[in-house]
Amino acid sequence: MDKKRLIYAAIFLVVSIGLGYFMYRVFWAKKAPVAKKITTTQVAPGKALPSAGEAGEKVITPKAGKLPTAKTLPKAAVKIQPTPAVPYPIARITEAPITGARADKSGATRFYSLTDGKFYRVGADGKAQELSGEVFYNVEKVTWSPTQNESIIEYPDGANIYYNFDTKKQITLPKHWQDFSFSTLGNKIAAKSIGLAPENRWLTISDPQGRNITAVEPLGENAAKVAVDWSPNQQIIATSLTGDQSLGADRQEVLFVGQHKENFKSIIVEGRGFESQWSPQGNKLLYSVYSARSSFKPELWMVNASGESIGSGRKMLNLNTWSNKCAFADERFVFCAVPTELNTGAGFAPGVADNTEDAIYKIDTETGLKSELPLDEYHVINSLYIGDNGKTLYFTDKNQSGLFSFPL
């Protein structure tokens, strides 16, 4: 009986091992790779090589004149490298400290050199040439005619003169006149006539030589609230912050003053510290204000400012800078120097930005799009303007003397 059990156990063990080996071969054992038969093609001399399709690879054959589309080509990650911005080259026209830099009607730049007391004009070759051989010592401010080679020259002691650089004609203007502005045609000037008594303070207009004087509006105690700035369309000669005073701390009404006591519409601005400049045709006004909402940093705005459209189309340009750091290229585009950073309260004290680098932006005032013009030097821009008939941007620096430019 024990012998039979041993025989059965041995048979069972052999069968189990056999079944296990069979299952291993069927389910788990790696199959030996089957070598593909490689067919070689003999190429007769002078005949073409076989195409990639003859080697067993699938070939995408586009239609004549067309490349395979993205649907037929295998997808691959494409890394697009941004084109690096090329800095604009800065030219330094003069190293001397200057004032009164502006373009004339031909687009050429004129300025006064504080070093030698002479006036210069930048020629087509980019070099400064003497505008006059005359020396004018200690000039403080220069207001240029937009049409003639003449200017109003102001001195620190209050003396004012009219001077024509073509005829050499010089006329002394009253000392109590200040804040001059030429009309677009250059045939009139507006100014503040500041007498000792408030009742003798007036906004006036005359010809550039101080004749044919007309008292336009009394200033009284509000002379500091009036900015003389003749609009290019000749409708308006000044803006005044003497409007409704009940609008709150962060709103102001700005009034427009005409030559003939016109009743122009006013505009409401969202902030204080109003500064402005006209577009080339006088249809729009670019201005800056600061408010609690902006952490008292200056903000740029644009508004329509001509005729019945005054006050309409107001929009914020979303840039923190002052309007006097901007220059119009035309009615639509404006260039502005924008501090790379501004502290809270910079609107109260612009001097806090005197050591902060500026970036220059070209702004489309219709769409709000902005593009930076990278410079190849560090600059803190004081003022800028467009010259050479829109081909060159000129600027002065708060911490470096001279006149700088770069091509547009």
- As a whole number of Å, the CA-based R_g of the chain is 39
Flag whether pLDDT at 142 surpasses 60.
yes
Yes or no: say if 191 and 178 are a contact pair by the CB < 8 Å rule.
yes
- The C-alpha atoms of residue 99 and residue 71 are separated, in whole angstroms, by 64
- Of the chain, the percentage scoring pLDDT greater than 90 comes to 72
Strands 128-130 and 392-397, bridge-based pairing = unpaired
- The C-alpha atoms of residue 117 and residue 113 are separated, in whole angstroms, by 5
Yes or no: say if 339 and 322 are a contact pair by the CB < 8 Å rule.
no
Dump pLDDT digits (tens) for 56-112: 433 334 444 443 343 433 433 434 344 457 888 899 999 999 999 999 988 899 999
Beta bridge partners, 224, equal none
Dump pLDDT digits (tens) for 200-256: 999 999 999 999 999 999 999 999 999 999 999 999 999 999 999 889 889 999 999
Q: Provide the 3-class DSSP secondary structure of residue 93.
A: strand
Nearest CA to 233 out of 183, 179, 169, 168 is that of 183
Yes or no: say if 172 and 159 are a contact pair by the CB < 8 Å rule.
yes
Task: Tell me the C-alpha to C-alpha distance, in Å, between residue 109 and each of 121, 168, 264, 287, 393.
Answer: 6, 19, 34, 25, 11
Tally the C-alpha atoms within 13 A of residue 353's C-alpha that lie toward its C-beta.
28
- Domains of the chain (ranges, CATH numbers): 231-374 (2.40.128)
Residue 123: the pLDDT is 83
Residue 389: the pLDDT is 87
Beta bridge partners, 102, equal 110
Burial (CB count within 10 angstroms: exposed 0-12, middle 13-18, buried 19+), residue 264: middle
Dump pLDDT digits (tens) for 21-69: 555 554 445 444 444 443 444 434 444 333 334 334 333 344 444 433 4
- The C-alpha atoms of residue 218 and residue 313 are separated, in whole angstroms, by 31
Task: Tell me the C-alpha to C-alpha distance, in Å, between residue 372 and each of 45, 288, 336, 356.
Answer: 63, 20, 10, 17
Yes or no: say if 127 and 160 are a contact pair by the CB < 8 Å rule.
no
Structure confidence at residue 10 as a pLDDT band (50, 70, 90): low
Mean pLDDT over all residues of the chain? 85
Q: Which amino acid is at 231?
A: S
| Positive/negative CA dihedral, 348, 354, 356, 358 | positive
- The C-alpha atoms of residue 134 and residue 366 are separated, in whole angstroms, by 46
Burial of 236-246, coded b for 16+ CB within 10 Å and e otherwise, reads bbbbbbbbeee
pTM above 0.85, yes or no: no
For tokens 């494409």, the residue is 78
Beta bridge partners, 91, equal 405
Residue 52: the pLDDT is 38
Query: Per the structure block, which two tokens stand in for 86?
Result: 């090329």
Residue 15: the pLDDT is 54
Dump pLDDT digits (tens) for 292-338: 999 999 999 999 999 999 999 999 999 999 999 999 999 999 999 99
